[in-house]
Chains A and B, each alone.
Chain A
Amino acid sequence: MKVHKYDTVIVGAGGAGMRAAIEATKRSRTAVLTKLYPTRSHTGAAQGGMAAALANVEEDNWEWHTFDTVKGGDYLVDQDAAEILAKEAIDSVLDLEKMGLPFNRTPDGTIDQRRFGGHSRNHGEAPVRRSCYAADRTGHMILQTLYQNCVKEGVEFFNEFYVLDQLITEVDGVKRSSGVVAYELATGEIHVFQAKSVIYASGGTGKFFKVTSNAHTLTGDGQAAVYRRGLPLEDMEFFQFHPTGIWRMGILLTEGARGEGGILRNKDGERFMEKYAPVMKDLASRDVVSRSIYTEIREGRGCGPEGDHVYLDLTHLPPEQLDAKLPDITEFARTYLGIEPYTDPIPIQPTAHYAMGGIPTNVEGEVLIDNTTVVPGLYAAGEVACVSVHGANRLGTNSLLDINVFGRRAGIAAARYAHTTDYVELPEAPEAQVVAQIERLRTSTGNERVAELRSELQETMDANVMVFRTEQTIKTAVEKIGELRARYRNVAIQDKGKRFNTDLLEAVELGNLLDLAEVMAVSALARKESRGGHYREDYPHRDDINFMRHTMAYREVGDDGTESIRLDYKPVVQTRYQPMERKY
């Protein structure tokens, strides 16, 4: 075991982690621990853009953006945080441009902007052009630009280091972060990082679904690490299903395709979104569009022999526009479906895309241990966190924004905090839990296989807690997850080695997915209303009297070692906007 000491340790090197690293490295001795090489992070898969009311191409302002974010989140958004997001969006985009990001340009040479779902002029009057973009690879350009600036700043990376445990030390009755424990993929060695500040920026957890736009590596490692140490997870029942994933593969096709004029059609060629969202049509918010697609499918208007998808139609757009604005997604259609988008519509279905919930933080990125108390020295930003700026449903282009605004804030706050404090003493045998976990998996002689359990988990999540949910389907999922968790104790791996043991890490990741899937299902079961991405057919309306509040899920361990989930609730911060019925 090796012990390292840093002022600030950042877990994850996607957009949020690297944005934080640029700030933290300028101010404190910083290490970034990432289970991938930084440029492999899933920020790079984001396509459509980053929202900011620059007003480069038409009238716009941050107040309209705040309203759209609050409404898009079905009023579960903390409005103070949404206001910060929308206000700081403008400087965030300008900062990236100054760092070198090659945005598309207007004829005047300013940053070009395009339409995106749920973003409107003057509180819902009509779609507005607010998304700043670089073709359909905006996430790629953000990831590259941030990595380039990390190289420039000399950020210290530990590549292919998996953080498996969060260290907490109780000092005078206060639980404080003292560091993390990491597993080095290349050697199998355990490393303890003692740090004054720790920032989680490890991304989402979409791999518990089968049809998902998420990378294989998005397994909720950060959420699981803090949750197992008794910290809560907020609003985990809210997961976004992006309307346009490639049929059965789940690969993302950007909402920018509809922003450029693309249309969703059913088997009769009907532009069905006109029925569900008369004003915003195909650019209604994602939860609304995904439900509309499945309503069409259920009512027999789906496409194909099994009627199990609908079409994204780009055929009326000029090929030059597709080539200039949507080159990557049109190539995905050609590569993976053998379809020419100039002439043929693309079969799509909703795909599990984004976790609105996560590790609760305040607007400085400080992690909460209950509804109000922060854990000194512990921070989170990006998809792993829940500020909450996305509430019950995130607007497209607000995630690339979130990672920049709150990644930056967390980086600054964590480094500043590191200057005000000494190292917190590590707990006794800090590596013990990770060593035990690794050894148990490496030496297990059980008869369960990782791939089989993961596949069963994904099947049950897709069938039971996706776009439409009922008490019965969620209970089915809870029961199945319980069974899988029991079987997981007998999981065995084939690779017993130390060198690049990805077999072992996949087993660890499955354990994380199982824990988080259970939190999601249990949180969803208790929320007897429909709001944003959480739609209960048995409770089809929003219930502001009983459920205008955030879910806080805690892991409890009984005296006999039995685990359970305790749910609590946290009030929503409301400032300017009173809840209204949500129409697009």
Chain B
Amino acid sequence: MSITTQIKSDPARWQRLKEILADALEQPSVERQTAVLRESCADDTTLFGEAEKLLAHDTTVFEEFAEFAAARLMRDERDRIGERIGAYAVISELGRGGMGAVYLAERADGQFEKRVAIKVLKRGTDTDELLHRFRIERQILANLEHPNITRLLDAGITTDGLPYFVMEFIEGTPITKFVQRENIGLRGRLQLFLKVCSAIDLAHRHHIIHRDIKPGNVLVNENCEPRLLDFGIAKLLGIDPDDEQVTITAERRLTPLYAAPEQNAGQAATIASDVYSLGALLYELLTNKPPPGSSNGNSLENDPSKHLTEPLPSHVVTDPQTKHQLRGQLDQIVAKTIRRDPAQRYSSAAELSKDIERYLDRGAPRSEHSSRGTSWHRWQIAAASLGAIVLATALLFSLRNKFAWPKSAQTSPPHAAVAHSIAVLPFDNLSEERENAYFADGIQGDILTNLSKIGDLKVIARASVMGYRGKTTSIHEIGKALGVSTILEGNVRRAGNRVRVNVELINAENGQAIWAEITIVT
């Protein structure tokens, strides 16, 4: 006889089972749930079996339906455009998510032209409690000033009783999408990630835990600046179980893929759980694949001995070059960030940053003078200034190309080079330490990025030119193979704090140098 049929014929049994199940559901971990079942059922193995079976059911769909009913069935929440929320007039809807909708709005009184994003939460939150918490948190959040943190400006309750948050409006793309769309290289991704770490670290030093770090909460704008959203909102919403509101809702509202195992088990969010989420984010940034996740949904079978770090980032990428880059140091950094045991993770976002910087700055002695503050910073300036020079020159060049070499373009054989086309070969590393090759790659990358901004210039993708690293193929051959009219090559020599970059722009047809530049940065 099935459980439900049995219940139908014996309501008293359901009353008993119901209390046992409810007690179990209030436990923070699967282990403790089972313990409660054992204790309550005592020797009644049938009852234990039934309870365990019932407890294993996934009831997400009912929760979702209840949310749907709250938002749409009875109350129509689809259209707020033109409405006023607080001092703001809603212009358009930006998106809709698990917690509610986000709108673009501007000051209704026209006092400022400031545009804001307003997040209106779904029904189902205790609004009085929320506002009370917000008033307490507001001052702390207001102090959180960092270029990569989106400011929370205000909060309140809409006329129809829904809590809302007013935030700075950020135009951007979720970081993981951004790096894929813009084809950002490994180094660029790590640099973006360092900025995220720095923002999180500042918050942590103010004793603010983000609690919900995930790609959708890290937007990157056109200037390649990441911005963190929703700081402290998770706590305001009480989805952080460290206050008395331990609910199943808390688990459901977090994004399980990025939340630490202890958070998914209903425990309090800590600096360590934020570090875990950073690791999950880094995993995706490095591999373009979702992180392994700390909760497999089937919580009864959560095995604490199972390593979360499997598979390692290098195991999930297929491109051999990326695989090679990730193997070793980066694999280890990610593994240490997403350990199941919070005590075994990096103790702070700053510690994690240090190891990433060490990776980026490989080969440099770890001393006060050569730490990131000096050489890394200079390197960025060097790359930026050089990038600018190349950009300017390339523009001039492309113009000159138009007028001075029309004949070659017209008389070319069908498969010949496009007139406005360029390949940037891998830069040679002439430094004594082989590790400094990343300087060379970085310069090549920056130049590529800058060149690709020129409208009618065809730039050969990095992947297609990497094969020529260290090869002795002639410029003419390379030009023919890649179908380009010009080739940029160069080398980098780094000695101590001095970096010398030598760049040459070559006409692929006749091998003549069109332009050359030497930049020295100290």
A and B bind = no
